[in-house]
Structure 1
Amino acid sequence: MSLIGRIRASWMRIGAVMLATGAVTGCAALSGPSSAGASSNQLVMFEDGPSLIANPTQTLQTMRSLGVQIVRLNLAWQDVAPNANSRSRPGGNLADPNDGYNWSRYDQLVGAIRSYGMNVDLLIGGGAPLWATQPGAASPSPQFGPFDHVWYPSASDYGNFVQAVARRYSYLNTWELWDEPNWGPALAPQYSGGSLVSARIFRQLVNSGWAALKATGHSRQTVIVGSLSQDGSGPPSKVGATNTTAPLTFMRALYCVDSRYNQLRGNAAAAVGCPTTKAASRRFRGNNPALFNATGAGVHPYPYSQRPTQAQFPDPNGVEFNEIPHLTGLFDRVNKVYGSKKRMQAFNTEYGYQVGYVTAANAAAYINWAEYLSFKNPRIGSYDQFELHDPPNGFSTGLITHSGALKPSYFSYRMPIWLPATSTRRGRSLEVWGAARPANFARRFTGKAQFVAIQLNSGSGFRTIKNVKVTNGRGYIDTFVKFPRGGQVRLAWQYPNQSWANNPFAQAAGQFIYSMSIGIALH
């Protein structure tokens, strides 16, 4: 969502050169871990707020035909709050959903999503209404506009808002508290007087939000705190009030530890709202339940032009896709510091590849590869596809171009496939991972078991080598296959013969759909 604004200036200058010189490699060289048999319960999310608002019926029909199960929906505080553009705080009980809020748009969207058989991951985000912020915001950004609605948002008012949301949508079970708190246009200031005050502000916000979810009976559900921007703008002098703090730098300040995971003390601790004494630190875990009891934290681990196993800007404090272990490692270390054994998850809550930074074919392959790696890692709680349609300008991570053309990634998202190894000796097996994403809807629709065909083309057309029953609730399969010879491997699945979703992108009833093909060699 905000990736372009976070891309470093040097990358903007060299990106076209890298593409022109072939720095992005083809998918033939892609590989990954080779163990099979893992079982994944990761959430598979999809986000495209503009398309949902502009054309909810067609967007949801398309999402269902793609097999989307969870829609990430950003419920912006300032969009529904009373007097959102006024400094005068409204009267009444702002923890009461019936006291002044305008829920009409979100009532319609949440209801429509659920009517299509999909769940909602509700992001309870900013910006805040002006009356819940402090005056004196930084000057507006030419790219992102004013910072007034994100300048020192009030934690107590946010807690009231979260409570109102949780009461209004009490039937939901997946929640996010704020978005990209380490990015200035989402939470500011980042630094003030040389101190990372955004960590203190966010700690207060999530504690209030957590208390609200607990008060309404939702704290034992999936609760994701913050969804971090993946890279930083540099040292504090470059981050300033409104740029991006490196995610691990931000998280260590959030948990009140230094770069060596020692608890902060003295002025350094006081500046970011942390305990200044050992005795006070013993109460930190109990005083900050959101930081230790949430399911995990989110991240937007865009890898720019790189395959999922490489980082564009390698950084021990960054969290591009292949650096997600940086975040889970931080969780383990800070929990140990405070005497907790909880193993928190990292949630990928915004992801995709921009065509232009990579080719359309590589984008299609890379999203399959990334999802496979996520499936294999129990510390990654979700995989997300950001956007269905490309916007008119810029952020081209969608599956459909702005003019309506289906990209290769449309088909690879609908039916992913990945082979971590593509060559072996004759008589040995290769791992085949993939999904018939719409199969879950088909099973519910027909009451019949669903099967994925693994097919091989050795020069005389595709023939089925193995049929695999889909037993995973998200449509995944993961199996080993002994192929009789080399060739091209793909997956095939058939839509039910009954009438399917009536939209221009749905396959006709009874028609087969296919994954992309991957070449294998036997020797």
Structure 2
Amino acid sequence: MTRPVRATLLALILLLPAVLAPAAQASPSQLSIMMDDDNLLYRGDAVRDQSLQRMRNLGVDVVRVTVLWSVLTDKASQSKLKGAGATNPRNYPVLNWDRYDRLVRSARSLGMVVYFNPTPPGPSWAHGKAPKGLRSVVKKAWKPDPGEFAKFVEAVGKRFSGSYRDENDARQPIPRVSFWGLGNEPNQAGWLAPQWEKGKMVSPVMYRELYLRSRAALDRTGHGRDTILVGELAPLGSSNQGQRSPIRPRKFLRALFCESSRGEGCEAFDKYGPIRATGFAHHPYTKNVSPVTKDKHPDSITLANLSSLSRLLDSLARRTGNVKAKLPIWLTEFGFETNPPDPFSGVSLERQAEYNQLGELLSYLDPRVAGITQFLLRDVAPVASGPKSSKAHWFTYQSGLEFVDGRPKPALQAYYFPFIVQQPGGFVANVWGQLRFRPNGLPAGARDQVQIQFKPAEGDEFVNVGDPITVTSAMNYFTGRMTLPGPGEVRALWTGGSLASRSATVTR
């Protein structure tokens, strides 16, 4: 274990009482979510089904997928989508729906929940005209029409209401989707632009109306009681005030919920009412540093200062009435890119596994967290057109649990069987982990057990330490405390088979 990671674990000792406390002090029922659009949407039926099965075997409960407005309107007839026509799923090209229809069916057959994230950018005719000289990705995200976006969301809501029949695939009924997030990273110009205009923040104003109107569209299509998340914010930002300058989440939220009643566009709340959401979605990346390392700017919100998000939301709810207090927090993207394969960015393979586990523990320790999302099962293939020695070649994301060719990274084992050992002093060890790969909610007579094992520093074999730990959590978390014989390695073994966790080193 590296010295920085060991220091991180020592910092978490202060949090350990919460791990061993009753469930009310932690979040032992949170869902395991995974996102991998490339493999679930864009690689064909066989890759999708293989990926879903792989995720299910790892213990994933929910898959999050981007429902990109521009993808579903690709090659669509603009005349058919004029006026109310955009609310009719049949006015979109049938083949554009297939990847989503089939994903929902396949996931349902495996007992998995699908979480849809409809988001701009959309077709060029549904956006404002961007100034010249901007990057293409920003031009495409420029000033989406909230009314047109709401019509698109209404079409998606109708199609996935549970009563709609497919136009092809033998006219089968399409299963219902009941989990939604509206918009993606609206504090980033690649998703919503401009961020600033004439010295004023405008992206919170645009996102407010996009959310309010698309939320009403879900109501109209029978999804009013579904899980519907607001936010989906990126964790970091900039102090600049340019059209492309990302806005840090605390600053964005104060504007979004109108901390000042005289804020831009706050009359929207008079017209549409408050933000109605069942939870707040956030992407708490810490980039290439430990999950307990806070960003230097107080308006950033990463996993290291996640509790500040709950406090801010509750404060805004109390002072403005524009959002409900005590909203659950959903961590809907998280992960670490690795080097290898990307020689320009990322952490080592071992550190990815360690940081992912620390992120899992921090998430567990926060009673407001309802779920955490691993961003990518498998690395995305690099950009073939870029020279292999260039950053352009490695523009894609490399935060997968597997390399692009399917070879596992150490983080794969850390995902399906996370395990952390903490030493408050001497050779007393507190352990925390999860049998994520096991079914949730086993009946009392079928509970799993975990055996803690120890291998001396100079030894070759693991031996049992203490009695087995019975897993009583519905989501298969376990905790325990024991005294170890001395320095060495500690791991957890599932007694129902041969699967073991990664080992942790104890040194004193």
Is TM-score (shorter-chain normalized) higher than 0.5? yes
Equivalences, count: 454
Tell me by how many angstroms 1:146 deviates. 3.6
| Aligned match for 1:418, one of 390, 415, 420 | 420
- Residue type matched to 1:105 in 2? R
Give SS of 1:367's match.
helix
Could you tell me which residue of structure 2 aligns to residue 49 of structure 1? Answer: 37
| Aligned match for 2:290, one of 304, 307, 315 | 307
Give SS of 1:147's match.
helix
Deviation readout 1:192-247 (Å, 9 max, x if unpaired): 121111111100011012112223333333221131111112221xxx22231111
Tell me by how many angstroms 1:411 deviates. 0.9
Could you tell me which residue of structure 1 aligns to residue 430 of structure 2? Answer: 431
Give SS of 1:128's match.
coil
Deviation readout 1:432-475 (Å, 9 max, x if unpaired): 2111111017969xx94433332222346223333333343433
The answer as to 2:130 corresponding to 1:136 is yes
Matches of 2:237 and 2:309, distance apart in 1:
14
Could you tell me which residue of structure 2 aligns to residue 472 of structure 1? Answer: 473
Matches of 1:335 and 1:29, distance apart in 2:
33
Could you tell me which residue of structure 2 aligns to residue 462 of structure 1? Answer: 462
Matches of 1:168 and 1:212, distance apart in 2:
13
Change (3 A) 1:372 1:23: closer
Give SS of 1:274's match.
coil
**In 1, are the aligned partners of 2:441 and 2:474 still within 8 Å (CA)?**
no
**TM-score, structure 1 length as denominator?**
0.79
Matches within 5 A, 1:332-481: 332-339=314-321, 342-356=325-339, 357-391=346-380, 392=382, 393-394=394-395, 395-419=397-421, 421-424=422-425, 430-440=429-439, 448-458=446-456, 459=459, 461-464=461-464, 465-477=466-478, 479-481=479-481
- Residue type matched to 2:105 in 1? G
Change (3 A) 1:317 1:382: same
Change (3 A) 1:442 1:490: farther
**In 1, are the aligned partners of 2:187 and 2:247 still within 8 Å (CA)?**
yes
- Residue type matched to 1:50 in 2? D
Q: Using the TM superposition, name which of 170-179 and 27-36 deviates more.
A: 27-36
**In 2, are the aligned partners of 1:47 and 1:388 still within 8 Å (CA)?**
yes
**In 2, are the aligned partners of 1:84 and 1:129 still within 8 Å (CA)?**
no
Matches within 5 A, 1:183-202: 183-202=188-207
Tell me by how many angstroms 1:485 deviates. 2.2
Provide structure 1 residue ranges, at least 5 long, that are not aligned to the other structure: 1-21, 258-262, 276-282, 496-510
Change (3 A) 1:84 1:204: farther
Give SS of 2:298's match.
coil
Change (3 A) 1:213 1:471: farther
Could you tell me which residue of structure 2 aligns to residue 280 of structure 1? Answer: none
Matches of 1:400 and 1:355, distance apart in 2:
10
Change (3 A) 1:440 1:138: farther
Give SS of 2:463's match.
strand
Give SS of 1:440's match.
coil
Matches of 2:132 and 2:265, distance apart in 1:
22
Matches of 2:2 and 2:450, distance apart in 1:
35
| Aligned match for 1:249, one of 248, 251, 257 | 251
Change (3 A) 1:264 1:289: closer
Change (3 A) 1:473 1:79: farther
Tell me by how many angstroms 1:369 deviates. 1.0
Could you tell me which residue of structure 1 aligns to residue 483 of structure 2? Answer: 483
Pairwise CA RMSD of aligned residues? 2.8
**In 1, are the aligned partners of 2:307 and 2:366 still within 8 Å (CA)?**
no
Tell me by how many angstroms 1:325 deviates. 2.4
Could you tell me which residue of structure 2 aligns to residue 169 of structure 1? Answer: 160
- Residue type matched to 1:453 in 2? Q
Matches of 2:309 and 2:8, distance apart in 1:
28
The answer as to 2:249 corresponding to 1:225 is no
| Aligned match for 2:82, one of 83, 90, 94 | 90
| Aligned match for 1:100, one of 92, 96, 106 | 92
Matches of 1:347 and 1:416, distance apart in 2:
19
Provide structure 2 residue ranges, at least 5 long, that are not aligned to the other structure: 162-175, 340-345, 383-393
| Aligned match for 1:514, one of 493, 496, 500 | 500
Q: Using the TM superposition, name which of 484-493 and 151-160 deviates more.
A: 484-493
Tell me by how many angstroms 1:431 deviates. 3.0
Could you tell me which residue of structure 2 aligns to residue 150 of structure 1? Answer: 141
- Percent of pairs identical after alignment? 31
Matches of 2:131 and 2:104, distance apart in 1:
33
Matches of 2:194 and 2:450, distance apart in 1:
51
Deviation readout 1:307-347 (Å, 9 max, x if unpaired): 11103x32111112212223222201111112577212332
Change (3 A) 1:425 1:341: same
Give SS of 1:410's match.
helix
Tell me by how many angstroms 1:409 deviates. 0.5
Change (3 A) 1:114 1:150: same
Matches within 5 A, 1:8-47: 25-27=4-6, 30-31=9-10, 32=12, 33-35=15-17, 36-37=20-21, 38=23, 39-47=27-35
Could you tell me which residue of structure 1 aligns to residue 108 of structure 2? Answer: 114
**In 2, are the aligned partners of 1:74 and 1:124 still within 8 Å (CA)?**
yes
**In 2, are the aligned partners of 1:416 and 1:515 still within 8 Å (CA)?**
yes
Change (3 A) 1:213 1:414: same
Matches of 2:291 and 2:235, distance apart in 1:
14
**In 1, are the aligned partners of 2:8 and 2:290 still within 8 Å (CA)?**
no
Matches of 1:473 and 1:285, distance apart in 2:
43
- Residue type matched to 1:164 in 2? A
- Residue type matched to 1:150 in 2? A
Could you tell me which residue of structure 2 aligns to residue 279 of structure 1? Answer: none
The answer as to 2:42 corresponding to 1:62 is no
**In 2, are the aligned partners of 1:87 and 1:131 still within 8 Å (CA)?**
no
Matches of 1:75 and 1:213, distance apart in 2:
14
**In 2, are the aligned partners of 1:388 and 1:400 still within 8 Å (CA)?**
yes
Tell me by how many angstroms 1:250 deviates. 1.2
Tell me by how many angstroms 1:273 deviates. 0.8
Give SS of 2:493's match.
strand
Matches of 2:232 and 2:192, distance apart in 1:
12
Deviation readout 1:72-128 (Å, 9 max, x if unpaired): 111111111365596995355322333335311111122222222221111111211
Matches of 1:484 and 1:350, distance apart in 2:
36
Change (3 A) 1:121 1:306: same
- Residue type matched to 1:247 in 2? P
Could you tell me which residue of structure 2 aligns to residue 499 of structure 1? Answer: none
